[in-house]
Amino acid sequence: MENGFNEEDYATFKGSGGELFSIWIVNILLTIVTFGIYSAWAKVRIRKYLLVMTEYRDERFDYHARPWPILKGRIVVLILFSVYAGCAAFSPYTGVIGIILIALAFPYLLLKSFQFNVHYTSYRNVRFRLEVDYKQEIRAYFLRALPIIISVGVSLFIAPVERMKGQELGVNDYIALGLFAVNALYTALYFGPFFLNWLYSNLYGNLYYGNIKFSFDSSVKEVWKKIVLPYSGLVVGMLTLLFGGAFFGAFLNNFLITGIGMVLFYLSLIAASLYFPFLVQHYIWNRIACGAGRASFSLTFGRYFRVNFINFILMGLTLGLYFPFAKVRVLKLLYQHRALSLTSLDDVVQVEASSQSAVADEVSDAFDIDFEIGI
């Protein structure tokens, strides 16, 4: 095998697109018939299938979460968002306060969501767990996020969007726009890379398998070099294609050049949607380690793009019905190029952890946030 890894260091997915499709389509139909109630069971069935069909060193993973806690979590989320929507409709200032409260809870919900899924995931009958010093880590997060939260709150209070519509901009409006611009710059140059490093360091640096601790070698500087700069380069190239094609097409009065530029722009748009998760996978799997072992990610973006682009076309032609098959194709591709070497599993012992609430997991799903063990 490549990079000094053995065949046993690579996980394999034993499932098929057809099997996943039969689960997926039944889940959709039952969710519709039960007015969304079955979605909790659907979520557990999908996660359990994907983990049970993942094999590493001749052993399978398993998922132990129960649907009822997840359903209760969804009911709590529905109530919270209904209250928020009602208050926001009554007063726009209440909506601003709600946004600030969501921003305050955001880091906690992220980590608790991952902790929930980790707690109910096992391998060889030994559970994974996540141990985070929430007080310390959330304090570190807020020290960097506080300028953004305060300035956004001030901006929305002094220049509500409703008042700006159809009116001339006043001094307060220009101040608000200036604060938004400063926030965008601060987020792009510092807070964004910090947040990615903070998030992945907590998720993978505090991860345990039984009594074995994972380690994760990361820094803000490395996130800048390996994720932010490459992705920014792709975005700049994408915008160059868009405006360059439009400019030269108009300047030369040539619709063919404009058309080619637009086609290249849309291809680069698809590439941009795939490049970020690819960079994240590459970053994580070349920095994570379990005990004395090491990991590697050898997939090239060219192959990753080709497989996902074909999946994109087939999902369009089948009106989305190809999704389960696409999911399996991508999983098998990733597993072929993600390796994790371990010295021995004989000394791994189960360490009991406290039960986890499903509420944070469901709130995070409302923001379309999803994390996996990744093995």
- pLDDT over threshold 90, residue 286: yes
Q: Give me the DSSP letters along 265-309.
A: HHHHHHHHHHHHHHHHHHHHHTTEEETT--EEE---HHHHHHHHH
pLDDT tens sequence across 324-363: 999 999 999 999 999 988 766 766 666 665 555 555 555 5
Does residue 256 sit in the same domain as residue 279? no
Please report which confidence band the pLDDT of residue 374 belongs to, taking 50, 70 and 90 as the band edges: very low
- pLDDT over threshold 80, residue 157: no
Does residue 321 sit in the same domain as residue 255? no
Q: What is the mean pLDDT of residues 209-238?
A: 90
Q: What is the pLDDT of residue 27?
A: 96
Please report which confidence band the pLDDT of residue 161 belongs to, taking 50, 70 and 90 as the band edges: low
Alpha helices by DSSP H, listed for 34-91, are: 39-52, 67-90
Does residue 308 sit in the same domain as residue 235? no
Least confident segment among 25-29, 32-36, 99-103, 290-294:
99-103
End residue of a domain, out of 250, 272, 294: 272
Does residue 251 sit in the same domain as residue 318? no
Does residue 319 sit in the same domain as residue 267? no
pLDDT tens sequence across 299-331: 999 999 999 999 999 999 999 999 999 999 999
Task: Specify whether the CB–CB gap between 116 and 65 falls below 8 A.
Answer: yes
- pLDDT over threshold 80, residue 138: yes
The answer for residues whose C-beta is within 8 angstroms of residue 353's C-beta and 6 or more apart is 119, 127, 129, 131
Mean pLDDT of the residues in the chain: 82
Q: What is the pLDDT of residue 292?
A: 75
Tokens describing residue 195 = 């947040």
Least confident segment among 54-58, 181-185, 204-208, 215-219:
181-185
Query: Which has the higher per-residue pLDDT, 244 or 39?
Result: 39
Please give the model's pTM, rounded to 2 decimal places: 0.83
Least confident segment among 121-135, 259-273, 333-347:
259-273
CA pair distance 254, 246, nearest whole angstrom: 10
Full residue range of the structural domain in which residue 91 is found: 2-142+178-218+273-366
Q: Which amino acid is at 119?
A: H
Instruction: For residue 363, give Cα distances in angstroms to 79, 80, 113.
Output: 11, 10, 8
- DSSP secondary structure letter of residue 151: H
Does residue 115 sit in the same domain as residue 49? yes
End residue of a domain, out of 239, 272, 305: 272
Instruction: For residue 183, give Cα distances in angstroms to 115, 146, 160.
Output: 30, 11, 17
Task: Specify whether the CB–CB gap between 313 and 266 falls below 8 A.
Answer: no
Instruction: For residue 238, give Cα distances in angstroms to 108, 245, 255, 267, 273.
Output: 35, 11, 19, 9, 12
